[in-house]
Amino acid sequence: MSEDASVTPVAAAADPAAAPVPPRQTARGAGRMNLTEGPIAKTLILFALPTLASNVLQTLSGSINSVWVGQFLGGSALAATANANIIMFLMFATFFGFGMAATVLIGQAIGRGDTDAARRATGAVVGLALIFSLVIAIVGWFASTTILHWLKTPPEAFDLAHDYLRVTFIAIPASMLAVTLMMASRGAGDAVTPLRFMLLSVVLDIALNPLLILGIAPFPRLGIAGSALATAIAGTISLIAMLGWFYARDHVLRLRGPELKYLLPNMEELRFIIGKGLPMGAQMLVISGAGLVMVGLVNREGLVTAAAYGATLQLWNYVQMPALAVGAAVSAMVAQNIGAAKWNRVTTITNGGIAINLMMTGVLIALLLLFDRAALALFLGGDTAAIDAARHIQLLATWTFLPFGTTIVLIGTLRANGSVVPPLVILFLSMFPIRLGIYYLGYPALGGDAIWWSFPLSSFASLTMAWIVYRRGNWRRTLPQPRVA
């Protein structure tokens, strides 16, 4: 499953004449950790925790804003935001891969002490994000009516969704630039700066939502457009503050003077970022597509099961967070160590990430199963039938996140050296032919329970495939770097 059989083997890095500059000679900047030295487990935990906190904050912000909209404007408004958010997720999922490809370049450049290469990669992905987001914002503004018709948005929610979507499209450039800078910063070993400005954005968003929805003096009453505008204002302020912080603290990725030309990426950088980024973005689309298919299968089982599954998904959003945070931390840490030619640490980092994820996710699963009735009641109220159905789902399928998390860590390691096609193939096979095959083969004997058994069994299948690629694949070859123009 090699992606580039022509690249030079890693063993060539053993040449003393080609030894990289020690990472400690790289400009450090505020909040940046040295991921190539020191105790691996401690460093990995300290680096993953800010990312985990950022994920929690972002999810809480979405949940609280949904409460504001639902309580103040009603169910039609809430449905309108859901329709608009689907579009936004697809837009960000498309660009996500490009950001991740750039973080591979940034991490490896920081690892080998090449600050200029890290800044070139940062400039390239920021310039690409600016162009991409401006095009999306302009096209989306004029095509919002057509998009909502494609989604079959209910008539009673259409006008609300239209107002919300248009304002959200205006906010895309600032939001995408902020997300891109946060990803780049983590690639450079700084997970604290993204957390700091994610917190600022979330606090502003939560505070501004009711003010702009209801028109609490001196703010105008904007209804659902006010919710979208609150998010736009919060994101823009956070982006401006983060840029100011980058320059005030002389962050390792800040661009000055002649370095500003890096915002116009050369073809070599674009070829790498797009070539590696498209499969990474496709991974997100595969996961979201599989989620839509499962929702369709669940809906066939009736309203009670659908409600139970909806509540279960809310709780699963939190259970999977340690895996996502640890996987991202492993990817950044492995990339820097590969850049520093410290391959002896890569296996230890991966094993440490697996152990930390199993511990953190295992604790969350145990707590959830112990207190599942109380947790589910937050979403389902006093509906005993739906709560009982959700508890049944939890018992059968929640432990899915143990093999899932291990797979995420392995994929993070592969991704750190630019191996992006094997993870895409693994996710596609496990999410579609394997998971759906388990469902259709098991349904005659298990009925609706075939849905829930398909989750852990397909996760074990993806773990098996990822482990085989990790142990026997060609991903350990050196990654070709874009040439300097």
Token pair 């890569």 is at which residue?
346
Q: What is the CA angle 222-228-232, rounded to 5? A: 115
Structure tokens belonging to residue 333: 């840490």
For 406, half-sphere exposure in the C-beta direction (CA atoms, 13 angstrom radius) is 21
**Do 106 and 118 contact (CB within 8 A), yes or no?**
yes
CA-based nearest residue to 483, from 278, 266, 336, 276 = 266
pLDDT score for 294: 87
Give per-residue pLDDT as tens, 1-42: 333 332 322 333 333 233 333 333 334 445 678 889 889 999
pLDDT score for 479: 59
**DSSP annotation of 432:** I
Q: Residues 6 or more apart from 414 whose CB is under 8 A from it? A: 420, 422, 423, 466, 469, 470, 473, 475
Structure tokens belonging to residue 453: 């058994």
- Helices 321-339, 303-319: axis angle to 10 degrees equals 40
* Low pLDDT (below 70) residues in the chain: 1-31, 75-76, 78-80, 82-83, 151, 382-383, 478-485
Alpha helices in 151-215 (DSSP H): 155-187, 192-214
Give the CA distances from residue 398 to residues 286, 298, 308, 392, 435, in Å, rounded to whole numbers and listed in that order.
21, 16, 13, 10, 16
Q: In one letter, which amino acid is 335?
A: A
Longest dimension (CA), the chain: 70
**How far apart (Å, rounded) are the C-alpha atoms in residues 108 and 118?**
8
**How far apart (Å, rounded) are the C-alpha atoms in residues 311 and 388?**
12
pLDDT score for 237: 95
Over the range 364-391, which residues count as b (16 or more CB within 10 Å of their CB) and which as e? bbeebeeebeebbbebbeebeebbebbb
Q: Phi, psi (5° rounding) for residue 456?
A: -65, -35
Q: Residues 6 or more apart from 47 whose CB is under 8 A from it? A: 33, 35, 189, 191, 329, 332, 333
pLDDT score for 82: 67
pLDDT score for 463: 96
pLDDT score for 252: 93
Q: Residues 6 or more apart from 167 whose CB is under 8 A from it? A: 225, 228, 229, 232
| 137 backbone φψ class: left, alpha, beta (φ>0; ψ -120 to 50) | alpha
**How far apart (Å, rounded) are the C-alpha atoms in residues 231 and 104?**
29
**Do 278 and 422 contact (CB within 8 A), yes or no?**
no
pLDDT score for 452: 95
pTM listed for this prediction: 0.82
